[in-house]
Structure 1
Amino acid sequence: MRTDYLGNPVSTNADAALAAIDNFVDGFLGYEARAAEVIGAAEVHPDEVLLNAYAATLWLLLEAPEAAERAAPHLARAQALAGDTHPRERAFVNFVTAWSADDIPAALAIAESILARWPRDLLTLKLRHYHDFNHGDFPAMLRAASAVLPAAEDVAYLHGMLAFAYEQCHLLPEAEAAARRALALKRKEPWAQHALAHVMLTQGRVAEGVAFLESARDDWTGLNSFMDTHLWWHLALFYLSQGKFDAALAIHDDHCWAQAKDYSQDQVGAVSLLARLELAGVDVGDRWSDLADHLTVRAADVVQPFLTLQYLYGLARADRPEADTLLAAVRRAALEAPDHVRETWREVALPAAEGLVAHARGDFASALRGLRAALPRLVEIGGSHAQRDLFEQLILDALIRAGRLSEAQQALELRRGFDPDGVPLNRALAEIYDRLDLPAEAAKARARLA
């Protein structure tokens, strides 16, 4: 029995097919654009079960209503081929089949069984992390990665996955150690770079974060659009804290919104960064309109609540009628979504959606009602805590605009614990303390700006 480059059994006897399998696995784990070559490889090798299952996987990661339809031909081919293949390959086909049917609990159970028998199947681990992440189950990510560590501790990608799982569980020293272990094994490990940036952001190590990401930029070559734009997005967050608003805006224009404008992750990254720029007081010109031109096709897209909420805010902020269409779709999802996510749509995504639209339209009292109702359970919609922080920033902005200054002061001072010298934060504090007739505290906030 032949194996892929990680040592997992594969049934192919063709050297070219095995090379294509390795190219996909390594490219996928490294967030490299070459992983997309699996689509062509599956056409060249229509009788290879794994290549077709992997091609279906890539289509499902499109994160769009048509994803399962695009995946279907490759999945059907893989299903037809699976009977005479290795049990690991048959199990993976079953995993993709369950995912395509949106039976995520079944898919996760299959992934767990694969990893129990073949713990070096790090592609399956990565896909398991993807689904756990989208449901906010970060301890499950950590548990799965920790379980395979004894079998794959020589692989940098595993330590990168461990680092991010630790960080999302707020185990920051462990996250940093795992990230640095990954980078010691492989300098170009973008997921570990990303996890370390998360640690530094959460701990308020802003200048160190800038220095780290700027030093790593020469590694950001050949990456897929999500990983490339997301690393730049993290650098922009550090620049925003430092008050380097022109640099952050340039990142939006030159990197975050300059690649795959039709892809979900590029779209929500741009929405999030534009919103944060505005919250920091930056005039973003007509950029909302340009972004919304690419979001109008999302007017009925309720594939994932985390994505949908940001599409919605972008459409509402650009004053597009599709915002109301998408809000109606969220209301339907609250009633009709699959069992495993219906409660999240109803009790978290729906009030958040109503709050986001209200904020975009200047109704800050309604924005607070909706967003605050969702906030305690916002983890259920997925996204990292750095990404979900946008919703807390919008709540803070609504408090200030609604004149609820005492509440705003409380929130700002809590935020100062992890962004002590942040320029937008201390500017807001200085203004709030002036309005609260606390000149000494306002002076301290201005001194921190200096």
Structure 2
Amino acid sequence: MSMQRDRQGLAVTGDAASIEALDAAVADYYAWRGDPVGRLQAATTTDGRFPLGHSAVASLLLLSGFPGHHPAVQSALLAAEAIDPAADARERRHLAAAKAFARGAIVGATEIWEDILLDHPRDALALRFAHDSYFYLGHSLSIRDSVARVLPAWDRQDAHYGHVLGQYAFGLEEAGELLRAEAVGREAIARDEEDGWAVHAVAHVLETASRQAEGIAFLKASRPAWSRAHALSIHNGWHLALYLIEEGRTDEVLADYDRHVAPRLADDSLLDLVDASALLWRLELAGADVGPRWTPLAAQWLRHVDEHVLVFNDLHIALAVGRSGDTEAVERHLASLDRYEREGQGDNREITVDVGRRLIDAVLAFAGGDYARTIDLILPVRYKIIRIGGSHAQRDLLTQTLIAAADRAGRHNLARALLAERLAIRPTARTRDHYVRVAASR
């Protein structure tokens, strides 16, 4: 089998049709639309010598939340191994990374992808796989630096250059460089208004900087464009909801939830389920009545209760089952976590034992009205919460929960201190009002 070249000029084992499918899959993946897995699976069906197609399918499935033992993941890995002798060194390293991720070595997988990027800084798959993994691990500086290391090697005329800028913008924001993040993110959007990840990066900047009114205007005006990045559309809508909640416009958020989120629950996208749990929880913290919306969400989450791919996901399962009122579902979730702590392996299991399980128990305690226990569980590990992954904005849910628990438990000095801390970095009217109310109750 002769070597072909992909759009980034890298050698790939496979026929011309497979390389075309690979390029299209990369474009789908970077743009958060289409079906990259389906494209690659179709190509591997017709081309018996396309090892990167198989390993990329495995990595894409793993990064979308499939457990390593899932038959689709294992089938892709076995198929890649069967034709491994035809692969070149880069392709073999891609397979090694996918195998590492499948056995729970998330950090090890990122190290392999980074090793690929040292030799091939324009490897679009390795760059994005590492980016997503760092996000799952909460490695904020690596999200930024992984892109910075390769950016000079990318041609500004490359079709994906704007998408790479969008990744860099998000990394800059997570590293606290808000001015640069906004500039880079807006440059990416100017290149492609449908770049959902660049829109997402700017949305993070505006939320972190407490620029709610600007954020609402920005996301509402650009919604027709970023909605076409369908795999990210619920998440960008979640960012809009954060601004609206902070402005007290919870009725609008509930209307958007019913229109955009609830109909997508059955699609079983883990990112959408995470956003749904976080959104309903934040609405309740803000005093809104979400009615029976927890019940179908908890039922959908229970399909994943035994997977334990990321403790971040397990935490959001706990939010849903805890508030659904289904005590049997709560017990099932806890029993599964107990087994995982005893028998599991890999990076996520270690993070679960170190900090994740405390946070899960904390939100379940909060859901049950045991606010003192919530405080006892979260307070000692609050500066380790970053280990569960996600973004600063997503993890802020736990800070808000801790503040609410302190307030409801009558721990007014603690609540006041936490609100003063929050007011220094997020000086919104809602936070200021809460601080004044708590300070007056001392």
Contact kept, 8 Å, 1:330 with 1:349, in 2: the verdict is no
The alpha carbon displacement at 1:336 in A equals: 3.8
CA distance in 2: counterparts of 1:329 and 1:21, whole angstroms:
38
Which residue of structure 2 aligns with residue 23 of structure 1?
A: 24
1:430 positional shift: 4.9
Query: Contact conserved, 1:2 with 1:13, CA < 8 A, in 2?
Result: yes
Check 1:274–1:159 CA distance in 2 against 1; reply closer, same or farther (3 A cut). same
Alpha-carbon distance in structure 1 between the residues aligned to 2:337 and 2:343: 10
Where in structure 1 are there 5+ consecutive unaligned residues? Answer: 437-450
SS in structure 2 at match of 1:259? helix
SS in 2 for 1:416: helix
Q: Kindly report which structure 2 residues correspond to 1:34-49, keeping only aligned pairs within 5 A, or say none.
A: 34-38=35-39, 39-49=41-51
Q: AA paired with 2:282?
A: R
1:295 aligns with 2:301: yes
Aligned-residue offset at 1:132 = 1.8
2:123 to 121, 124, 128: 121
Segments of 4+ moved more than 6 angstroms: none
Cα separation, 1, equivalents of 2:155 and 2:338: 45
The 8 Å contact of residues 271 and 314 in structure 1, kept in 2 or not, is answered as: yes
Matches within 5 A, 1:299-318: 299-318=305-324
Aligned to 2:218: 212
Query: Which residue in the other structure is 1:281 paired with?
Result: 287
TM-score (norm 1): 0.90
- 1:345 aligned to which of 349, 352, 355: 352
Matched residue pairs, number?
433
Work out whether residues 166 and 184 of structure 2, in 8 Å CA contact, stay in contact via their aligned partners in 1: yes
Alignment deviations for residues 341-365 of structure 1 (CA, whole Å, 9 cap, x no partner): 4442222112112111110100111
- Answer whether contact 1:239 1:245 (CA < 8 A) is retained: yes
Cα pair distance change 1:156/1:126, threshold 3 Å: same
> 148-157 or 294-303: which moved more?
294-303
**Within-5 A mapping of 1:39-188:** 39-65=41-67, 68-152=70-154, 154=156, 155-188=161-194
Q: Distance in 1 between matches of 2:108 and 2:401?
A: 36
Partner of 1:443: none
Aligned residue among 228, 237, 253 for 2:233: 228
Map of 1:362 onto structure 2: 369
Aligned to 2:400: 393
Task: Mark the CA change 1:67 to 1:205 in structure 2 (over 3 Å): closer, same or farther.
Answer: farther
The aligned counterpart of 2:201 is 195
1:247 is aligned to 2:248: no
Mapped contact 1:300–1:329 kept (Cα < 8 A) = yes
Cα separation, 1, equivalents of 2:61 and 2:44: 12
Unaligned segments of structure 2, at least 5 residues: none
Q: TM-score, normalised by structure 2?
A: 0.92
What's the CA shift string for 1:408-443, capped at 9, x where partnerless?
2222233234443444x355345424434xxxxxxx
Which residue is equivalent to 1:382?
389
1:387 Cα deviation after fit: 0.3
Deviations 1:321-378 (A, max 9, x none): 1212222333343444425344422221121121111101001111111122331200
Q: What is residue 422 of structure 2 aligned with on the other side?
A: 415
Match in the other structure for 1:444: none
**Partner letter of residue 420 of structure 2?**
E
| Separation in structure 2 between the aligned mates of residue 244 and residue 206 of structure 1, nearest angstrom | 12
| CA deviation map 1:30-71 (0-9, x unaligned) | 111332432333333343222222222232234144763221
Query: For 1:151-196, what per-residue CA distance to the aligned partner results, in whole angstroms no more than 9, with x for missing partners?
Result: 0152111111111111111121221222123223323211111011
Counterpart-to-counterpart distance in 2, 1:313 and 1:407: 23
- Matches of 2:130 and 2:226, distance apart in 1: 25
Please state how far the C-alpha of 1:144 moved relative to its aligned partner.
1.5
C-alpha distance in structure 2 between counterparts of 1:67 and 1:284, whole Å: 36
Choose from 5, 8, 14 the match for 1:6: 8
3-state SS of the aligned residue for 1:10? strand
Give 2:250's aligned amino acid: F
> More displaced, 399-408 or 57-66?
57-66
Q: Are the equivalent residues in 2 in contact too, given 1:29–1:123 (CA < 8 A)?
A: no
* Contact 1:33–1:222 under 8 Å retained in 2: no
Q: 1:53-104 CA distances to partner (integer Å, 9 max, x unpaired)?
A: 2222232234144763221222211222221233222221222122222222
Structure 1 vs Structure 2: percent identity of aligned residues? 31
- Cα separation, partners in 2 of 1:333 and 1:73, compared to 1, 3 Å: closer
1:224 offset after TM fit, Å? Answer: 3.7
Structure 1 position 223, deviation (Å) = 2.5
1:229 maps to a residue whose letter is I
Amino acid at match of 2:31: G
Amino acid at match of 1:168: E
Task: Out of 115-124 and 96-105, give the one that drifted further.
Answer: 96-105
Once the two structures are overlaid, the 10-residue window that deviates more, 208-217 or 294-303, is 294-303
1:213 partner amino acid: L
Pairwise mapping of residues 251-270 of structure 1 onto structure 2 (< 5 A)? Answer: 251-261=256-266, 262-270=268-276
Distance 1:141 1:221 in 2: 24
Deviation at 1:18, TM superposition (A): 1.8
Report the CA distance shift for 1:220/1:341 in structure 2 as closer, same or farther (over 3 A). Answer: closer
Alignment check: 8 A CA contact 2:341 2:352 kept:
yes
For residues 393 and 93 of structure 1, the distance between their equivalents in structure 2, rounded to whole angstroms, comes to: 41
Q: Is the 8 A contact 2:193 2:226 kept in 1?
A: no
Give the secondary-structure state (helix, strand or coil) at the position aligned to 2:176: coil
**Mapped contact 1:134–1:382 kept (Cα < 8 A):** yes
